[in-house]
Structure 1
């Protein structure tokens, strides 16, 4: 349950790119995108930053493990890295291309957040047990207050999604529905 949203909070959207969202194995991605859209609108209305990540392991600047190098045999489709239109990106958004599961590893994400004196992160995106959880672990290690929008994320493996929501995320932050998070956000922006 969300108890508070810091005044210096960002919305951090994980891997809402065409090559992932359009995966037919993903369950509930239409509902997830509706809730992401609500969060984006609420953060824009509150004049708070939005961070948007995509993932492309193919151009990582370090040596890959055998498993990683087998995954990226061919370049992605031309639009696979593009953010889905439902996010309604704007020029002031912060864009981060990550190369691994977590958005903090070997990116400028932490630097961008510190520049803005960010203390809190609302996390949403795909995939719950991989990109979202990997990023959450990095955020937790860096001392950010994390709020997880459980209905604004999904996973290719429903059990993995549930495990992250039920067991992992409550150890790192607060977990709630989009509407409850927006209510707290509106309350904190009034004070």
Structure 2
């Protein structure tokens, strides 16, 4: 998979780990994404960070402390950072052009928020003809009034199997 593959790290930004309402299993998520990043780097696989930009006064307002990519998985000089304003990492961004210019046709997805940005990006990547692998234990969200974060993650892992292959972060995801 490695020759035309990229790792996408979606919206893993400082505000998502706010002490008053942190993302579900945030530290474990960071550990798993760190492992995937290290594996991708060791194999020369490009890493794309997707960074959400929200309106003024919100935790993900451009340039604020919360907007920055989490320091535990910070980009390095060869990594690509794509700015977005909607749940879809492709919509009105340069992501598709950047992938196409590198001949990338296979995407490995991780990140936040399972039922919003991860879901939307996964579905659109599939519709655009990319082969998608969702790392089933390396995306996360928050509890809602109706469902726990674990229920949301499990549900989306089932639903997104229509649009992606699934692997665990413990597997060789870049084989």
TM-score (ref. length: structure 1): 0.81
After superposition, the Cα gap between the structure-2 partners of 1:149 and 1:85, relative to the gap in structure 1 and judged at 3 Å, is same
> For residue 170 of structure 1, what is the aligned residue in structure 2?
161
Cα RMSD (Å) of the superposition?
A: 1.6
Deviations 1:154-173 (A, max 9, x none): 1113122221112x210011
- Counterpart mapping for 1:101-112 below 5 A: 101-112=87-98
Aligned-pair CA distance for 1:75: 5.0
> For residue 152 of structure 2, what is the aligned residue in structure 1?
160
Q: Distance in 2 between matches of 1:22 and 1:7?
A: 37
Q: 2:43 aligns with which of 42, 46, 55?
A: 46
Q: 1:86 aligns with which of 44, 48, 72?
A: 72
Q: 2:7 aligns with which of 11, 22, 34?
A: 11
Q: Distance in 1 between matches of 2:153 and 2:16?
A: 16
The structure with higher relative contact order (CA 8 Å, sep 6+) is 1
- Counterpart mapping for 1:107-126 below 5 A: 107-126=93-112
How many residues end up aligned between the 2 structures? 165
After superposition, the Cα gap between the structure-2 partners of 1:133 and 1:184, relative to the gap in structure 1 and judged at 3 Å, is closer
Max Rg structure: 1
Q: Distance in 2 between matches of 1:21 and 1:119?
A: 31
SS in 2 for 1:92: coil
Contact persistence 1:21–1:126 (CA under 8 A): no
Deviations 1:37-79 (A, max 9, x none): 0000000000110000111132xxxxxxxxxxxxx6x254721
Q: Which structure: greater helix fraction? A: 1
Q: Distance in 1 between matches of 2:116 and 2:105?
A: 23
Aligned-pair CA distance for 1:178: 0.6
> For residue 146 of structure 2, what is the aligned residue in structure 1?
none
Aligned-pair CA distance for 1:6: 5.0
Superposition misfits of 4+ residues, deviation over 6 angstroms? none
Contact persistence 1:6–1:119 (CA under 8 A): no
Q: Distance in 2 between matches of 1:93 and 1:6?
A: 16
